[in-house]
A and B are shown apart, each in its own frame.
Chain A
Amino acid sequence: MTPEARFRAYMQAFNSSDWDALREYYAPDIRLVIGNGAELVGRDAIIDFYSEVKQQARRTIEIVQCFADGNTLAAEIESEFVAIEDAPDFAVRPMAKGDRYYLNSFVFYDFEGAQYTCIRAATFRREFRPAAAYVDPGAEIET
């Protein structure tokens, strides 16, 4: 499997919240470093973090582009968070139920074999859309 194909499978596991599958992509001592200075070490810390975030917001990641060279894969990803409940202490920013938050990020994934050893992410663009301003295109309009 190419690093790019593995990355797409990894993101599929992430989007379906398949934590057991996700765990297999991480080296035991993996480091996740986010541009705000936050750092998580170890599979469990990362899985715990992601699962906690997903209890408050539905998060879907779309791969804009990815390519690998040597033992590093570079990716541009777009994350959409939709708050499931009011989450004043949400990891990214306070969210009210129905709020949407978008992040466009550049990420480096260092890997050894089939496992990621270090993930570093920086945010390129962010956009917050409060629920009050969002019109669901599938919603019925009362007249």
Chain B
Amino acid sequence: MSHAGGLRLWFDAYLAAFNRADFPAFGDYYAEDMIFHGQAAELKGRRAVLDFYHMVRSRLQERVELLSFVAAPDGSRIAAELHTTLLALRDWPDMPTGSMRAGDARMRVSFAMYDIAEGRFTRIRTARFSPPGGNAA
């Protein structure tokens, strides 16, 4: 298996863990002092990122699908195109990327850059590609 092929499987497993809200499994991908530049938050440290996702998952379901995947030959970086679907479980009027009401669905496509060292993400940065879309239930 090529290095890039191995990295793809590793990344697929990360997304699978993220989608089933398996916090220990996807949290294991995060370096202790990682930096996170998401569209809803800017955070430092694995604990802060996991706390953030715990808060998010108490309010909505989140599912991420991989559309495109590019790995650096040395395994130090990944660029990914991600399709995210959010489904609000309850009202979240002050959601950082725009208020949602219970039952609302929101889709978006983002480009994400992952820096990797010693088998963990040291930095994650995302940029919105598509404007937010979706339908109120």
Residues of A within 8 A of B (CB): 35-37, 65, 67-70, 72-74, 76, 105-108, 120, 122-124
Contact = CB atoms under 8 A, between A and B. Distances in A.
Contact of B128 (A35, A73, A107, A108): A35
A69 B72 CA distance: 7
- Secondary structure at the A interface, as helix, strand, loop or mixed, is strand
Interface of B: 4, 37, 68-73, 77, 79, 81, 110-113, 125-131
B71 A69 contact: yes
25 contacts: A35-B129, A35-B130, A37-B130, A37-B131, A67-B72, A69-B71, A70-B4, A70-B70, A72-B68, A72-B70, A74-B70, A74-B79, A106-B111, A106-B112, A106-B125, A107-B111, A108-B70, A108-B81, A120-B81, A120-B111, A123-B128, A124-B113, A124-B125, A124-B126, A124-B127
B113 A106 contact: yes
A115 to B, nearest CB: 18
A73 B70 contact: yes
Contact of B79 (A70, A106, A123): A106
A122 to B, nearest CB: 4
A37 B130 CA distance: 7
Contacts of A74: 70, 79, 113
A122 B73 contact: no
Q: Name the residue among A69, A70, A120 with the largest chain B CB count within 10 angstroms.
A: A69
A68 B79 CA distance: 10
Contacts of A122: 110-111, 127-129
- Secondary structure at the B interface, as helix, strand, loop or mixed, is strand
A124 B129 CA distance: 9
A39 to B, nearest CB: 12
A134 to B, nearest CB: 26
Given A67-B79, A69-B69, A108-B81, 8 more contacts: A35-B128, A35-B130, A67-B72, A69-B73, A72-B70, A74-B70, A120-B129, A124-B111
Nearest to A37: B131
Contacts of A67: 70-73, 77, 79
